[in-house]
Structures are given as C-alpha cells and as structure tokens.
Amino acid sequence: MNSEITHIVLIVVTDLAKQEVVQALLAADYHVTEIGSTGSLFTTGFASLLIGVTADQVEEVLHIVRQNCHTAFDPGEKRAIAYVLRANTFAMMQPQEEAAPS
Amino acid sequence: METFAETIIVSEEILIVLLLVASVVALMASRLRMPYTVGLVLIGLGLTFVPSLHFEVSPEIILFVLVPPLIFEAAFHIRLDDLRRDWQTILLLAVLGVLINTFIVAGIISWGTGMSLTVALVFGSLIAATDPVAVVALFRKLGAPRRLQVLLEGESLFNDGTAIVVFGLMVTIALTGDFSLAGSVTDFIRVAGGGIIIGGMLGLVVSQIIGSFNDPMVETTLTTVLAFGTYVAAEQLHVSGVLAVVTAGLVNGNIGPHGMSATTRIVVFNFWEYAAFVANSLVFLFIGLTIEIGLLIENWYYILWAILAVLVGRAISVYTITSFNRDLPWSWRHVLYWGGLRGAISLALALSLPAALGPATRQLQAMAFGVVLFTLLVQGFSMERVSKWLKLVKRSPLQEEYERRHARYVAVRSSYEHLLHMARQGLISEHTWQRLSPLLEKQKNNLIEAVSEIINQDPEVKSEELDTARREALRVQRNTLLSLLRDGVISEEIYTELVGEIDTALTSPLFTWSNLLTGARINAPIDRMMMVIIQERDLPQVMRRLMETGVSLAQLPSTGGFLQQRNATVLIGYPAEMEASLLQALQETTRHRVEMSSSATRLAVPGAASRIRVGGAVLFIFDVESYHEF
C-alpha cells in the first residue's frame, strides 16, 4: 500500500472549515497530517493539511474537501485551496527490531 | 444633612452633566480638528472660572475608580510582539526615566522656588507619568512609523506604573518624614514586584476562565472584574495596585483574546475603549472643577518653574537613555522628547494628594494642571508641525495625487447624479440634459481611468482601499443580519452563527479579499508551487507585493514563540512563466537583514556563531500536478 502513494494533496483551509474537512477525510480512511494554524489575535486561522494518496484517490480527496468546506460568508470567497503534488518517494518508516548491541 | 440616597442622586446628576460636557467637547474637538484631550483640558480650564462648583472628589475615588480603567485599557491593547523590538529602551525610559525626571524636576523646582525638597519630590514623581494619547492619535492619522507609536505607548504605559509607585513612596516620605535609602529601595522592589506578580496571576486565571466558554457579555464582565479587582486586591496586600493592573492588562490582552471568539473580542475591545474615554474625560473635568482660576494665577511662578523643570527633565532623560539605542534615528528622539505630554494620570495623582500635606496640596494640583495645560496646548498642538518638519511622515506624492483625482471624480459624479435627478423631476428640460450628460459622462470616465492608473501604481493605496471597502461591505452585512433578526426572519442561533462568521472576516487579514480579487487576473494554469520561508518582519511587504501579481497565496503557521524571532512560511501557486518575476519580487521585498543571536539556531546548528546575519528568504519549488480552489 505504501509504495503506491505517489501524490501529496496539500490543503490550506480556514479554521472554521477545518474540523469538518478533517472529520470527513478521516471517516473516509485517509491519514491526514495537520500542520497547525496561523490563527492568532485578529488573524483568520488557516490550517494546512497534508494527505498522501495514490493517483486515483486524488479526485476523491478533492471531492471530500469540496463537499465539506461549507463555511463561507461570501459566494466568491475562497474557502480552501489545494495543491496536488507528485512525490518522488513516499515511505512510512517502521520501527526496526532492536539488533543485538554490537 | 444629606442622606446617602441623596448623595447618590446628586453625584449621578453631576456625572450626567459631566458626561454631557465630555460629549460636547468630543464633538467640537473633531469638528475643529483638534485632539480630544486638548479640548478637554480647555473645558477643564473653563470650569476653573466657575467658583460656585467647588467640588471635592475623594482621592480614593480617583485611584480606585478612574485610574484602573485608564491603565487597563492601555495595557490591554498593547501587543507584546510590538514591544519586543525596543523593549530595553522602553523599560529604561519607564523606570530610569521616571527616576531621573523625578529628581531633576524636584531639584529644579526646589532650587528655583524654594519649595521643600520632599514636597518637590512628590510633584516630580506625579508629573513623570506621560500620556501621549493625543500624539499617538495624531500619528495614527498621519501614518507615522508604527515603531515610534509603540515606543511612545509602551513608555507611557510602564512609566504610569513606575510613577505611581514612586509617587506613593514620596508621599509617605513627605507625610512621615522618614527616609532611608535602603528602606525605600526595598520598598520599591517589594511593592512593584508584588504588584506585578499578583497582576500576572490574576490575569492568567481570568484568561483561562474566559477561554473556557463563549459569552461576550460575561467575558467582558470578567475583564471588568479583573481590572478593578486586581487593583483592590493588590492594594489590600499593600503592593502596587497600578502595576498589578498593568500586568493583568498585558496578560489578559495578549493571552486572553486567544480564548475569545471574534465577536467577543470586538465587544471587549469596544467596551474598554469606551471605559477609558469616560475615565479620561472625568479626570480632566474633575480637575477643572477642583481648581479655581484664582489658584492658578496665584501660583504662576511655581507653574512656570514647573514647566521649565519638566522640559529640562524630559530632555535629559530622553536624550541620555535613547543614546544607548544606536538604532534610533535622531528625528525620532526629538519626537519622543516633544511627544512626552502629560495628562490624565498626573492629574489623577495630583487629585489624590492627601489633604494632610497642607496648603501644598492645592499648590501641587495647580502646578500639575498648569504643566498638563502647557504640554497639551503647546506640545500637543505643535506636534503635527514638528513631525512634518522632521519629515517623519512619508506621504508619497502618489498618495496625494490619488486623493486629488479621487476627489475630482467624486465631485463630478455627484454633479452628474444631481443633474440626472433634476432632469427626472422635470426641473431641467430633456433637451438640456441630452446636451450635458455626454460631457459629464466623458469627464467621469476619464477620471475613473485616472484614478485606476494611480491605484495600480501604488500598491499601498490599492490594498488600503480594498480593505476599507471590504470592511464596509461586511459591516453592512452585519447590520442587515441584525434587522433580519429583529424582524423575526431568522432565529437568534442563526444570527449568532452568521455574525460570528462576519466578525471573523472583519478581523481577518487583508489578503483574503484582495487575493480573491487579484486572483482573477491570472489566466494561465497554476503549475508550480513555491514554499518560501521569510522573516516575519518582511511578511507585510512581501504579501502586498505578491498580491499585486495575482498569484495564489496561503500562509502557513510560523515558528518561534513568545519573544522569539519568527519565520513565516508562504505557499505561492503560480504558472511557470511568472517564476522569474516572482523571484524578483521576493528579492526586492525581503531586504531585512538582522543580526540576531538565537538559541533556536544554536540548537539547530551546533557550534554556530551566536551572531548571525539573517534575512532574505529560503525557498523550495515544486511542480504542481493540479491546483484547485473551493
């Protein structure tokens, strides 16, 4: 499974929508990495999410994000942006068995 | 013999009249384009001519009721981040400056007028507190450098605290005649330190409580309790109430808002702005009521010496202390000097002088009023000219041209609309209208073009305008929601939810809207992404510049925490052909070179020199397979 992941979807979404988007993605069995939020006094937080996906999953992920970033007060206002990037290598390191001390 | 109830009613009547006076003054001041505090002090002066209103305000009321809101509000809206840059200068000015001022002013007055040194010291300490409210408001209007505003505001906040502590000590010495240097120093440390600790603790506790729920009314009440309660608690424990309030205000103002929703923030900040306005007004009006003009005239000699002493004292303290900060331009030092107006705090302290000081009480109050009058009228009024003379404000000729063209356009447009209205009403004939309207339309269109030309030349003007427009639009939305609620079209819950969104938008950064609008200009597909790490200080101009190009922008969370240098990471989505101009733009806007010694970098690169030159930007470029916006 790991070796098939070739793309990263990087999503920047407003704080208000983040919860819904993350829940929806988790519910669809995606592993989401959340990179904090820029929110502080008087700034709208933008949270960044990273998801590693296979080529066919890209469309689904985008669909989920589109469905769930409802919170917008303005039809023209951007609620989220997504970059689909190709990754050269993707690996999830497993902890190795402790070798006998040499 | 008045009953308690009658006293309350009389006090209420007086209060109402004073607030009415304050409102009138505020209106007139804005009409006459003069700073509000100047108007207040003039009315206060006028009140001194009214002998029959001889008015006793107990010192306790001044200290326990009027001072806390003034101090709390000032502390509440100072950003610790802003203080970071010049904190040493600010602290030195606040502590050392107050001491220098106190002794020099006391020395000069005592020498020149023969006043006893102990009494002169009392005056020296109370007059050391600055109140540059009028100057800061002016700076905001003129667009003076923010760093200078921060210096003035920061100094004023902290020197209020120090001055009040020193004042307390001096009054005790004057009353009891006891003086021991060691005792006074330990007293100072105990009183100041204790105040700070108490204020800090209470501020943290209240911030936590506030963060745990969302109800603007209750949260505002909690801040009120904090402001006054901290003062009372500290005073009961015989430590500095003022420094406690300063600390509580700083803590609550910087940490608290994280736990508040955007709606709450707006409510709380507005409330404190109003509270400070009322307290400020009352202090000025009270002093006018307490002092009679005769007293001022009688003490003219002392007042003149006081003014001289204050001018000399501030010169010495400001110029020596700022000489340690090589980074500070000379024109700024002059502004810091001349901008050291005195105001409400000095008057409040003077009003709180115990009658036990004898005839000196009245004298010191007259002197305080005289000095405040002088600084506000002379320094306050001349500040605008001084800042222009020192070339403090860079008003680009572009901005002036923009104003010119925009005004012409609006004037032509309104004449067009007026004539249209007249034509509709039949006040002018169709024939005349047909002849006039194409001329006016042509003029309008030319001016529209002229204005857009200017706007496109100067990014500042454009982004400011967009921001103003956006905020106005949001405000109108807010009002509409309110009427929908009132008319019963939407429920309270929906209203709160939608208003929350609007408030978040109102307090959100500029680039959301501008970015949206300028984004429309890019026609080529976005196929590259740049991840740029820049100094936080460069962020505003980088963002402004990038927005112009219409690229997709998103900011990622920054590193660093409290009091540390921060980086900002920005993601830029753009078509490949724009890469060169983007790199150019970055090159031009990340000029910030800073020498810093950072423990963070030492950890990251063991053995790195502790002084590093940092600046510019670090960037990574990725190929983007696809880009989407929702």
The verdict on a CB contact (< 8 Å) between B571 and A83 is yes
pLDDT at A40: 53
CB B198 within 8 A of CB B239: yes
pLDDT at B515: 46
Cβ-based contacts of A81 with chain B (< 8 Å):
552, 554, 573, 627-630
CB A15 within 8 A of CB A45: yes
Q: What's the pLDDT tens digit per position in B15-45?
A: 888 889 888 888 888 887 777 777 888 887 8
The verdict on a CB contact (< 8 Å) between A58 and B626 is yes
Among candidates B66, B99, B110, which has minimal Cα distance to B351? B66
Q: B480 and chain A: CB distance < 8 Å anywhere?
A: no
Q: In Å, how far is B566's CA from the nearest CA of chain A?
A: 12
Phi–psi pair at B608, nearest 5 degrees? -70, 150
Q: What's the pLDDT tens digit per position in B504-528?
A: 766 655 444 444 444 444 567 888 8
The verdict on a CB contact (< 8 Å) between B629 and A48 is no
pLDDT band at B225 (very low <50, low <70, confident <90, very high): very high
Domains of chain A in sequence order? 2-86 (3.30.70.120)
Phi–psi pair at B343, nearest 5 degrees? -155, -130
The verdict on a CB contact (< 8 Å) between B554 and A48 is yes
Task: Please state, in angstroms and rounded to a whole number, the distance separating the CA atoms of residues B169 and B184.
Answer: 7
CATH class of B523-623: alpha beta
What value does the mean pLDDT take over residues B311-325?
89
């249209």: which residue's tokens? B420
pLDDT band at A76 (very low <50, low <70, confident <90, very high): low
Cβ-based contacts of B555 with chain A (< 8 Å):
38, 46
What value does the mean pLDDT take over residues B543-567?
70
Q: B506 and chain A: CB distance < 8 Å anywhere?
A: no
The verdict on a CB contact (< 8 Å) between A69 and B555 is no
Cβ-based contacts of B518 with chain A (< 8 Å):
none
Q: B255 and chain A: CB distance < 8 Å anywhere?
A: no
Among candidates B565, B147, B507, which has minimal Cα distance to B327? B147
pLDDT band at A1 (very low <50, low <70, confident <90, very high): very low
Q: Kindly list the residues of chain A whose beta carbon comes within 8 Å of any beta carbon in chain B.
A: 7, 10, 12, 16, 35-38, 40-44, 46, 48, 58, 62, 65-66, 69, 71, 73-74, 76-86
Cβ-based contacts of B627 with chain A (< 8 Å):
81-84
Q: B76 and chain A: CB distance < 8 Å anywhere?
A: no
Task: Please state, in angstroms and rounded to a whole number, the distance separating the CA atoms of residues B602 and B598.
Answer: 6
pLDDT at B601: 45
Q: How far apart are the first and last CA of chain B?
A: 74
pLDDT higher at B311 or B621: B311
Cβ-based contacts of B263 with chain A (< 8 Å):
none
Q: Name the residue facing B556 among A38, A81, A83 (closest C-beta).
A: A38
Q: B430 and chain A: CB distance < 8 Å anywhere?
A: no
Residues in chain B: 630
Q: B620 and chain A: CB distance < 8 Å anywhere?
A: no
User: Which residue type sits at A7?
Assistant: H
- Which of B188-202, B339-353, B590-604 shows the lowest mean pLDDT across its residues? B590-604
Q: What's the pLDDT tens digit per position in B417-457?
A: 888 888 888 888 888 888 888 888 888 888 888 888 777 76
Q: In Å, how far is B211's CA from the nearest CA of chain A?
A: 13
Q: Name the residue facing B557 among A37, A62, A80 (closest C-beta).
A: A37
The residue in chain B having the minimum alpha-carbon distance to the alpha carbon of residue A36 is: B557
> Mean pLDDT, chain B, as a whole number?
80
Judging by DSSP bridges, how do beta strands A32-37 and A80-86 pair with one another? unpaired
The runs of H, that is alpha helices, within B379-429 are 381-389, 397-425
Residues of chain B with CATH 3.30.70.120: 523-623
Q: How far apart are the first and last CA of chain A?
A: 34
Handedness of CA A28, A32, A38, A40 (dihedral sign): positive
SS (H, E, C) B318-346: HHHHHCCCCCCCHHHHHHHHHCCCCCHHH
Cβ-based contacts of B502 with chain A (< 8 Å):
73
pLDDT band at B55 (very low <50, low <70, confident <90, very high): low
The residue in chain B having the minimum alpha-carbon distance to the alpha carbon of residue A38 is: B557
Task: Please state, in angstroms and rounded to a whole number, the distance separating the CA atoms of residues B522 and B580.
Answer: 15
Q: In Å, how far is B503's CA from the nearest CA of chain A?
A: 10
Cβ-based contacts of A38 with chain B (< 8 Å):
555-558
ipTM above 0.90, yes or no: no
Task: Please state, in angstroms and rounded to a whole number, the distance separating the CA atoms of residues B540 and B546.
Answer: 10
Task: Give yes or no for residue B198 having a pLDDT over 90.
Answer: yes
The verdict on a CB contact (< 8 Å) between B504 and A44 is yes
Q: What's the pLDDT tens digit per position in B127-161?
A: 999 887 777 777 777 767 777 888 888 898 888 88
pLDDT at A44: 56
Q: Tell me: domain B4-185+276-389, CATH 1.20.1530.20, correct?
A: yes
Give, as one character, the DSSP assignment of residue B520.
Answer: T
Q: In Å, how far is A85's CA from the nearest CA of chain B?
A: 5
Task: Please state, in angstroms and rounded to a whole number, the distance separating the CA atoms of residues B186 and B4.
Answer: 42
Cβ-based contacts of A35 with chain B (< 8 Å):
556-557
Among candidates B590, B589, B595, which has minimal Cα distance to B613? B595
Residues of chain B with CATH 1.20.1530.20: 4-185+276-389
Q: In Å, how far is B222's CA from the nearest CA of chain A?
A: 19
pLDDT at B519: 42
In three-state secondary structure terms, B615 is coil
Question: In the structure encoding, which two tokens stand for residue B393, read together?
Answer: 């404000």
